[in-house]
Structure 1
Amino acid sequence: METVRHDGRETAYRLTRPDAGGPTALYVHGSGATHRVWAAQYGPAGPTHPAAALDLSGHGGSGDVDTEVGPATLRAYGADVVAVASAVGADLLVGNSLGGAVVQHVLLADRVDVSAAVLAGSGAKLAVTEALRTWLAGDFECAIDALHGDDMLFHEADERTERRSRETMRAVGRAVTERDFLTCHAFDVRDRVGELDVPLLALVGEHDRLTPPFYHEYYVEHAPDATVALIEDAAHLAMVERPAAFSEAVASFFGC
């Protein structure tokens, strides 16, 4: 892992094949996750290289921040992305769920200069159910169980994949994971989607109950240049469940 120092903290990221000739993609994980959720994409079979994936503040190897949930946390996570994007010379941004919200934030704030973006399992508004918010506040294991229920994070994940996902969420911890989801709950840029002026791919697992396909269709209706693609036999973490199909869709969109 490499690190970049900014705003009084260090943000960790993994950079693979830095000498490759393709456009550089930067991957941004979602709530309660780390950069490793993108292992299939920054690995050898990924859609483009160089490739980088970061740990947002408080996740994995990155330093934490003391921010209120909502816009303040979103700005802090955005600063993480801007710092790593600058360090690696990112041409393309790929964000999942909360990571997609962060990508939209930095694009709308005009803080990065990239040629395209992928919003995977994300949306212009990311409401979180009252039940999940309650469990995150007081019964973390119940929240983890709910997120690993039918067609939530996964459609048909194998035992090893689900176990690793649960372990990662526990390692990130209740407080940071709750902060992530509450920041998602506060996120709403539906009235600004028309300002997203780079080509967008809205990529969604066909069974995703957390951010259903209609969330992604909103971009086609309201953004200047957006395309929707559906990943079959997958739910919210399509890049984990169906990495080949996910990477193929990204590569086709990026022209890699």
Structure 2
Amino acid sequence: MPKVVIESKMYHYAAGVPPQNNIQCAIVFIHGAGGSHKHWAYQTTALGKKFLTIAVDLPGHGNSEGKPYNKIEGYADFIFDLTERVLGTKFVIAGHSMGGAIAMDFALRYPTKLNGLILIGTGARLRVASAILDTFAAGKLFPDLVNYAYSEAASPELIKQAKWEMENTDPSIYYNDFMACDGFNYMERVQAINTPTLVLGGAADRLTPPKYSQYLADNIPNSQLEIIEQAGHMIMLENPQQTNTCIEHFITSMASTV
């Protein structure tokens, strides 16, 4: 995996590079709470044939060093530092769930760095149930979370992999991430996002239901909404083909308007 050093810490990311380095656009993918670059495997592989795709491991996640933050702004600043070193050019930022919150904060504070914004399975506010926070705070896991994250149409293999990932992730990572989510409330701020935006919601998402996506699309200027069928919260894993089609169409349509 490619890596970059920031303030003496090693951070990793997965990358997809088009043949002959024929790069039309760069997309930076940001995973959700407790996740890693692996949640974007279908995107870095398929979309990486046409675009430069980068899926980061946030601090303390996956193969990256450092410690997880308990505030969204900390993660957004990390993305700024990483992209300045790895890209140094404008890009499209795509975030899932907590990653969507990071992407929104980035779009508000660093708008000149972006060509586009993609929000997947996320919301302008991400409250977390106290029972979930208390469980992770006590150093325990909350396995029922996996069942809420996937739709009934999800394959048994996806569910099995998700449970394995949770069992092998330190509860403190989830705790910090969910604290960051719980403190995120941009319902009165998303109207100030000026970056062209694609909002993707899962029709069967129980964690950030379609009404969350509708709110974003209704309140972010120059945005468009797509609801993905046969998908719960983990849209990009449950229905990667439709997810990728929407992303590619969004980026292509942006390029055609320039």
TM over 0.5: yes
Shift of 1:173: 1.3
Which residue is equivalent to 1:55? 57
Which residue is equivalent to 2:45? 43
Contact 1:216 1:228 in 2 (8 A): yes
Q: Does 1:200 align with 2:197?
A: yes
Deviations 1:28-57 (A, max 9, x none): 000111001000000035584211100000
Which residue is equivalent to 2:77? 79
Q: 1:20 to 1:119 in 2, by over 3 A?
A: same
Shift of 1:21: 2.6
Separation in 2 of the partners of 1:126 and 1:208? 14
Which residue is equivalent to 1:237? 234
Q: State the one-letter code of the partner of 2:36.
A: T
Separation in 1 of the partners of 2:186 and 2:103? 12
Separation in 2 of the partners of 1:138 and 1:154? 28
Query: Does 10-19 or 90-99 show the bigger shift?
Result: 10-19
Q: 1:47 to 1:178 in 2, by over 3 A?
A: farther
- Identify which of structures 1 and 2 has the higher relative contact order when contacts are C-alpha pairs closer than 8 Å and 6+ apart: 1
Q: 1:47 to 1:121 in 2, by over 3 A?
A: farther
Name the SS for the 1:160 alignment partner.
helix
Between the aligned residues of both structures, percent identity stands at 26
| Structure 2: unaligned runs, 5 residues or longer | 254-258
Aligned Cα RMSD in Å?
A: 2.0
Q: 1:112 to 1:83 in 2, by over 3 A?
A: farther
Which residue is equivalent to 1:65? 67
Shift of 1:157: 2.0
Matches within 5 A, 1:15-54: 15-17=15-17, 19-44=21-46, 48-54=50-56
Q: State the one-letter code of the partner of 1:115.
A: N
Q: Does 1:222 align with 2:222?
A: no
Shift of 1:90: 5.2
Q: 1:44 to 1:220 in 2, by over 3 A?
A: closer
| TM score, norm. by length of structure 2 | 0.89
| Structure 1: unaligned runs, 5 residues or longer | none
> What is the aligned length?
249
Q: 1:225 to 1:57 in 2, by over 3 A?
A: same
Q: 1:112 to 1:170 in 2, by over 3 A?
A: farther
